[in-house]
């Protein structure tokens, strides 16, 4: 099937062609005819499946054909609002369809003026739009089509009441479209409240499901916690990366890792919720324009962010839950291109990784890698790395007792022997990052044994 078969307006087809769209994705093929017919719709699809064009193209086609004048699209974040608005602008520019992004953190004046002037497509976050309606600033804005994009994300961010209030200001004789990656009960209840006899379409768990996407090669490395930075640096150097995302759990981890990578000469920038909005916008814009190669981000900051040509996703830390893993790796392997997802996991986190594998059905392969030139010509590891570790270590009281017990040995000989032990450990550790399968299995057997002993001791304590 091609886009010509949808009988779109010729100026819209021109925008589609220049955008490089050739064949519609599954969600586009399924929902465009329904939206064209004017029916309400609930669409279940992940980010990156092409749903912006799926709802945007038929809406703009109606505008080009003078069937409707205005549309409203609600999104959970400013970044997604900007992204959706940009894509619709590029697809509809030859049909003279104007779009506007409305979100908080900037002045009201320009947004109000453009809405009242008659801009056709408004892409907004719920909080700012609710304020504009509530203050009577946009009484004339009466959209004939309303889209809720990433509805489950809006629910998670606490926007449910705002959305319900917004719909009190919107005309009842409208077409309403709701898109969500998951369908929890509150989303189903919202659909029952604001939609009229909707059609239900789902492409989740079909050929475009992220976890079953065979275009993403998934690997994991079981590492010592001390190897985490060395591992990510080595991976960034040895993988053929065009553009990548590195996910961290916490904002402070994003800042620290970004500074570390920049100091090593990598083209990296961080993205998290504590950045000023102008700074966040600049980082995302630069990343989309390929001016930034490595984006280090938290899950929340990257929520809804859809960027083309991401070749790799790295999980610097394992995500908190299986669904986050699905969303993270879904940033790569899109539009028929192959992608790679790599997760770093410590021995303590290995059980959590197994749970994620089981719940999402991910086909993840264990991997190891050798460090480039881990030792010098004389067989010694990097002294700078060892020196840093020595300076950072906190002295245990028992270490002083041990030194006292070795008083019969010459002091310099004692230090030389201890340093030699450290060098040998550093050399062995530096030759490989990641444990092989046999070692991991031995570790897990030991872990299970320790857990059984701990449970038995707990039972005995309770019995006593």
Identify the pLDDT of residue 71: 97
Query: Distance between CA 19 and CA 17 in Å, rounded?
Result: 5
121 with 73: CB under 8 angstroms? yes
Q: Domain 3-202 is classified in which CATH homologous superfamily?
A: P-loop containing nucleotide triphosphate hydrolases (3.40.50.300)
Phi, psi of 283 (to 5 degrees): -65, -45
Q: Which of 266, 308, 301, 303 is nearest to 287 (CA)?
A: 308
Identify the pLDDT of residue 168: 93
**First-to-last C-alpha distance (Å) of the chain:** 73
141 with 115: CB under 8 angstroms? yes
Query: Distance between CA 179 and CA 27 in Å, rounded?
Result: 11
User: CA neighbours within 13 Å on the CB side: how many for 292?
Assistant: 23
* Total Cβ atoms within 10 A of residue 395: 7
173 with 13: CB under 8 angstroms? no
Q: What residue ranges do the domains of the chain occupy?
A: 3-202, 216-369, 383-430
Identify the pLDDT of residue 360: 74
How many residues would you count in the chain? Answer: 464
Identify the pLDDT of residue 334: 75
Comparing 3-202 with 216-369, is the CATH topology the same? yes
DSSP 313: E
Q: Domain 216-369 is classified in which CATH homologous superfamily?
A: P-loop containing nucleotide triphosphate hydrolases (3.40.50.300)
How many helices (H) does the chain have, and how many strands (E)?
18, 16
pTM above 0.85, yes or no: no
- Residue by residue, pLDDT tens for the chain (464 residues) are 788 888 899 999 999 988 878 788 888 999 999 999 999 999 988 766 788 999 999 999 999 999 999 999 999 888 888 889 988 998 999 999 999 999 988 888 999 999 988 899 999 999 999 999 999 988 888 999 999 998 988 888 889 999 999 999 998 899 999 998 888 888 899 999 999 999 999 887 554 444 445 688 999 998 888 889 989 999 998 888 999 999 998 888 999 999 999 998 999 999 987 888 788 889 988 998 899 999 999 887 676 677 888 999 999 998 877 777 887 888 888 767 889 999 999 877 887 788 788 777 778 888 887 655 444 445 565 566 667 667 777 788 888 888 888 888 888 888 888 888 877 766 555 556 777 777 766 766 665 666 666 665 666 555 55
């Amino acid at each position: 099937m091609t886009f010509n078969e949808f009988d779109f307006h010729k100026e819209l087809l021109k925008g589609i062609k220049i955008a490089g769209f050739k064949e519609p994705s599954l969600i586009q093929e399924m929902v465009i005819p329904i939206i064209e017919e004017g029916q309400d719709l609930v669409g279940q699809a992940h980010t990156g499946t092409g749903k912006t064009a799926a709802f945007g193209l038929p809406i703009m086609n109606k505008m080009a054909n003078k069937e409707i004048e205005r549309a409203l699209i609600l999104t959970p974040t400013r970044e997604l609002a900007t992204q959706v608005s940009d894509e619709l602008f590029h697809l509809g520019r030859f049909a003279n369809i104007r779009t506007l992004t409305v979100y908080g953190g900037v002045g009201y004046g320009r947004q109000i003026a453009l809405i009242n002037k008659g801009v056709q497509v408004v892409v907004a976050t719920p909080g700012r739009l609710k304020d504009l309606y509530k203050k009577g600033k946009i009484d004339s804005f009466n959209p004939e089509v309303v889209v809720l994009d990433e509805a489950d994300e809006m629910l998670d961010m606490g926007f449910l009441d705002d959305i319900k209030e917004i719909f009190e200001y919107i005309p009842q004789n409208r077409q309403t479209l709701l898109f969500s990656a998951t369908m929890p009960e509150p989303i189903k209840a919202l659909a029952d409240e604001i939609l009229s006899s909707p059609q239900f379409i789902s492409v989740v768990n079909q050929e475009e499901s992220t976890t079953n996407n065979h275009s993403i090669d998934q690997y994991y490395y079981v590492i010592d916690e001390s190897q985490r930075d060395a591992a990510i640096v080595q991976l960034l150097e040895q993988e053929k990366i065009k553009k990548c995302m590195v996910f961290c759990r916490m904002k402070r981890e994003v800042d620290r890792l970004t500074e570390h990578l920049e100091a090593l000469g990598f083209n990296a920038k961080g993205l998290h919720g504590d950045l000023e909005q102008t700074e966040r916008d600049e980082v995302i814009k630069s990343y989309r324009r390929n001016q930034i190669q490595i984006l280090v981000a938290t899950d929340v900051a990257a929520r809804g962010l859809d960027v083309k040509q991401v070749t790799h996703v790295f999980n610097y830390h394992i995500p908190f839950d299986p669904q986050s893993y699905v969303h993270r790796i879904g940033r790569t392997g899109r539009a028929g291109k192959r992608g790679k997802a790599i997760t770093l996991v410590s021995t303590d986190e290995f059980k959590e990784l197994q749970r994620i594998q089981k719940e999402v059905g991910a086909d993840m392969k264990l991997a190891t890698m050798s460090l480039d030139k881990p030792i010098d010509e004389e067989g010694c590891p990097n002294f700078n790395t060892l020196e840093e570790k020595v300076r950072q270590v906190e002295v245990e009281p028992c270490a002083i007792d041990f030194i006292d017990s070795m008083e019969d040995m010459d002091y310099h000989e004692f230090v030389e022997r201890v340093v030699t032990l450290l060098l040998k450990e550093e050399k062995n550790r530096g030759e490989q990052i990641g444990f092989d399968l046999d070692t991991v299995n031995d570790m897990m057997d030991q872990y299970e044994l320790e857990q059984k002993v701990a449970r038995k001791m707990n039972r005995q304590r309770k019995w006593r």
